[in-house]
Chains A and B, each alone.
Chain A
Amino acid sequence: MNLEFIVRKLELSVRCGEDKLGREVRGGYVGDLLSDVIGNSNEGDIWITRQAHQNIVAVASLKDHAGIILVNSSEPDSDTLDKAIKEEIPIMVSELPGFEVVGEIYKLMHT
């Protein structure tokens, strides 16, 4: 399953990294605490969070995440977008709360 499939199924708004949506998603991680995400997420995860500051790009880049989905309509700062474009990390936004976003992705992964 790639990012593009998730974007379509969940009707996500892509804020940057449209050209990277072909990337394979291996798993998912939800978390708003950067230390937790750095410590426990895996390469190829789609990271679901509501944090929107520029540090999330550094974390996603460090852990080589497939992309970041911001939930609760949380919008990335302009600094975050600049950095994400530079680091080639796709950022998507959902109106749904984290629980629903995860639930839908989990369902896609298990069917």
Chain B
Amino acid sequence: MTQDKKITKTQELIYSLRVKDVMSTDIVTVSPSNTMNELKEILRIRRISGTPVVEGKQLVGIVGIDDLIRCLSNGEMDATVGEKMSKKVETLCADEPLANAVNKFEQYGFGRFPVIERNHGRLIGILTKGDVVKGLLTRLEIAYHTEEFRYNNSINPVFDNIAMDKTNFHFQYRVDSRDFNVAGESINKLKKILSQIGFPPQIIRRVTIAAYEAEMNMIIYSYGGHISVSADQQHIILEACDAGPGIPDIEQAMRQGFSTAPVWVQELGFGAGMGLPNINKCADTMELKSEAGKGTHIKAVFNTTNGDGV
């Protein structure tokens, strides 16, 4: 994978959003025949610093506070907007990406751009820097909420999720090395889910025991890893993968009563050398791959079609 610069959500948004998505459509306009005095009143009342000039529905110019100040000092307040406006108007098209607008703001140093419909050149909105910022913030907030929702669901599955059934569910959680306090917590949840989905109690019992032993092993011996449980038509599949250090002698580790657990672990009631044999006993088939210096991968499969098993 190439390590390109990570595209931020904001960058993504200014390319995917269009001008029309964030522009204001509540536009104040003046006509070329309005006097500068009238313009002054409009700007004052609406608290704006400039407006497009429209004749019929066509955009013919733009006039702003700079023009007004010049007229004030020259005593030309009775002149018409048409005489004093800028006729060369920079516009944006409604369907342009927001990125273009941002570039244009930088390039011209203007505070606003009239937005026109590309086909007929009619004025349909106005875009200020404020509109851009507000638009981005709104979208970012929505994106953030969605992200947060997704994250919460991944670590805390919704139990009454109707999408889950016997052949379509996936439960995964992370296990941290030496973290005894939360040990078993996720498995208590897993048990609830499996029973809500409707698996027979004996199957659930075997899966949860195996998952718990796998988790305990990971907590006691490994650098941490993750455990996942999923199902297909005929099986529940439990997988436990850790990041090492791996088991030097698998045959020995599979023997009941063999344990390398330190005393403090045994005093907690674990590490009696029952873990792997217990997983093996619970599962219909079990595969154990491990390499010293690397990690351990356990795959335990439970048949769900042939009754209660053990």
Contact = CB atoms under 8 A, between A and B. Distances in A.
Are A and B in contact, CB atoms below 8 Å, in the complex? yes
A33 B267 contact: yes
Given A52-B257, A74-B257, A35 B272 contact: no
Contacts of B257: 52-53, 74-75, 77
A51 interface: yes
Interface residues of A, number: 11
Interface in A42-93: 50-53, 74-75, 77
Interface in A13-45: 32-35
B154 interface: no
A53 B267 CA distance: 14
A50 B259 CA distance: 14
Nearest to B259: A53
Most chain A CB inside 10 Å of its own CB: which residue of B259, B263, B266:
B266
A51 B272 contact: yes
Nearest to A75: B257
Contact of A35 (B259, B267, B269): B267
A35 B266 CA distance: 10
Nearest to A33: B267
Interface in B261-296: 263, 266-267, 269, 272
A33 B267 CA distance: 6
Contacts of B267: 33-35
Nearest to A77: B257
Contacts of A53: 257, 259
Interface string B92-115: 000000000000000000000000
A55 to B, nearest CB: 9
Contacts of A75: 257
Contacts of A50: 272
A71 B273 CA distance: 15
Nearest to A74: B257
A77 B269 CA distance: 20
Nearest to B274: A50
Contacts of B266: 33-34
A77 B259 CA distance: 12
B278 to A, nearest CB: 13
A34 B267 CA distance: 8
Contacts of B269: 32-33
A77 B257 CA distance: 9
Most chain A CB inside 10 Å of its own CB: which residue of B257, B263, B269:
B257
A51 B267 CA distance: 12
A35 B263 CA distance: 10
Contacts of B263: 34
A3 to B, nearest CB: 24
A70 B22 CA distance: 77
A102 B269 CA distance: 20
What 4 A-B pairs come out closest when comparing CB atoms? A33-B267, A52-B257, A35-B267, A74-B257
Given A32-B269, A33-B269, A74-B257, 12 more contacts: A32-B272, A33-B266, A33-B267, A34-B266, A34-B267, A35-B267, A50-B272, A51-B272, A52-B257, A53-B257, A53-B259, A77-B257
17 contacts: A32-B269, A32-B272, A33-B266, A33-B267, A33-B269, A34-B263, A34-B266, A34-B267, A35-B267, A50-B272, A51-B272, A52-B257, A53-B257, A53-B259, A74-B257, A75-B257, A77-B257
